[in-house]
Structure 1
Amino acid sequence: MIALFVGLRLYAVLGQRTGHEQQPVTRPDAVPGVANPPATADTPAVTPEQSGMVFDAGAADGIRAVIAADPAFDVGRFMDGAQAAYGMILEAYWKGDKEELGHLVGPDVKTAFESAIAEREAAGHVLDNRLVNIERATIDAARLNGKTAEIDVRFQAFVAAVTRDAEGHVVAGSLSDAVETNEIWTFRRDLKSGNPNWLLVDTDEVG
């Protein structure tokens, strides 16, 4: 989804609406189900929204650490950006736009995507995919290693996927039947840097 929140283009969309995101959250006093110390400059308070849809309670400590290291970090804006990035990255991959991907993903993900694009092009296949909607997006985990922050976002989405040959004939899939996808995307940022970019550095399919 966020240049999850990803590249200067994603930075430009932080705080904007895509139509699929959860409501942004602020930083009130307590996390349901988690023993939170009082908020201080070193241990800021953080909470999921009441629906529990922004982040899992188990991610609270990691999010608190990120906020302590970067007080400008805002969970709601990050989630808006993550969901925007999800759509932007998928579109770039489906279209085979390597330049766009270069702004949004880390080196390892870029190499994997480019390899898959090359294989697709060698087979003469074209993807005609559509992101129907993001059903749910939540922060699954967050961690801080020195000044490097990583946030795992779990996306539950529906995609209409079609593969066509060079003549435009359907090889696989159907635009009339959306397929549910469940993935965890990991975004990383060096908090020491003045660069606001979060890059996608890993993707995992989950059950």
Structure 2
Amino acid sequence: MVEIAILAMVAAFLGLRLYSVLGRRAEQEEEIVHNGFDRADDQGRVPPSPTAVEEAPRLERPITGFPPAIEQGLREIAGSDRRFDLLAFLDGAKGAYEMVLEAFWRGDKEELKELCDDDVYASFATAIDAREEAGHTLDNKLIRIEDTTVHSAMLDGQIARIAVRFVSDIAAVTRDKDENVIAGSLDDAVESRDIWTFSRDVRSNDPAWLLDETDEG
């Protein structure tokens, strides 16, 4: 079906650079820095990253209850990156998932250029151009994100990699140049299961994570 093909196209082009920042929370005059993807402002801009506090990892969500391989990977990442906070990471990844999908659906090249590396931006731009040339627009809506879980985690040398599985409901509609619906329905959401793998060099002062792999989950 056309709407399924559209969702597949979205997944195929979601290799992009996501900007993260360290959130800072003051509590009893002690600063605790969390590593994640901070929310952008209403112009879609992410504020500059504050300076990290050099302290032992402090995770709001304990690294327990995961399969042994995932738990080991998360502990290795936390041990190498003092700024890493699992809860903040997952919350930010969820926000990034929504932001990236919606930017692509809108055809917002300017925002995507800020979020993507050059190769991935070129892929997004090509898909958007093809869509515009056909006179088609997407009226997709992310109805809800039902689940966000860690699928795998590992520290490969100095590169942290965390794969996150998203289970979401997406209503996909394609319109022609006359605004007629030619595929999909906003009343019929399709369940989407995606696995996005984020990576980061733990030695870098740049808190940015890269979305370097996507797959169906």
Closer/same/farther in 2, CA of residues 150 and 109 from structure 1, 3 Å limit: farther
Q: Matched residues in 2 for 1:102 and 1:171: separation?
A: 29
What is residue 39 of structure 2 aligned with on the other side?
Answer: 13
1:81 corresponds to which of 92, 104, 118: 92
1:96 aligns with 2:107: yes
Cα displacement (A) at 1:202: 1.7
1:26 aligns with 2:61: yes
- For normalisation by structure 2, the TM-score amounts to 0.71
Letter aligned with residue 184 of structure 1: I
The Cα offsets for residues 141-195 of structure 1, whole Å up to 9 and x where unpaired, read as: 1122222111110111000110011111111000011110011011111222111
- 98-107 vs 156-165, which deviates more? 98-107
The Cα offsets for residues 47-97 of structure 1, whole Å up to 9 and x where unpaired, read as: 14xxxxxx6554111111110110220110000000000000000110111
1:132 aligns with 2:143: yes
Q: What does residue range 34-183 of structure 1 map to in structure 2 within 5 Å?
A: 46-48=63-65, 57-183=68-194
Q: Matched residues in 1 for 2:165 and 2:95: separation?
A: 14
Cα displacement (A) at 1:120: 1.1
Q: Matched residues in 2 for 1:139 and 1:80: separation?
A: 12
Cα displacement (A) at 1:199: 2.1
- For normalisation by structure 1, the TM-score amounts to 0.74
The Cα offsets for residues 85-140 of structure 1, whole Å up to 9 and x where unpaired, read as: 00000001101112222333344433332222222112111000100000111110
Q: Is the 8 A contact 1:188 1:201 kept in 2?
A: yes
Q: Is the 8 A contact 2:175 2:183 kept in 1?
A: yes
Q: Matched residues in 2 for 1:8 and 1:153: separation?
A: 16
Closer/same/farther in 2, CA of residues 161 and 57 from structure 1, 3 Å limit: farther
Letter aligned with residue 13 of structure 1: R
Structure 2: gaps of 5 or more residues = 1-15, 22-35, 41-58
What secondary structure, in the 3-state scheme, does the structure 2 residue paired with 1:81 have? Answer: helix
Letter aligned with residue 175 of structure 2: R
- Give runs of ≥4 in structure 1 deviating > 4 Å: none
Letter aligned with residue 12 of structure 1: D
What is the alpha-carbon root mean square deviation over aligned residues? 2.4
Cα displacement (A) at 1:5: 9.7
Q: Is the 8 A contact 1:109 1:202 kept in 2?
A: no
1:197 aligns with 2:208: yes
What secondary structure, in the 3-state scheme, does the structure 2 residue paired with 1:71 have? Answer: coil
Q: Matched residues in 1 for 2:67 and 2:136: separation?
A: 39
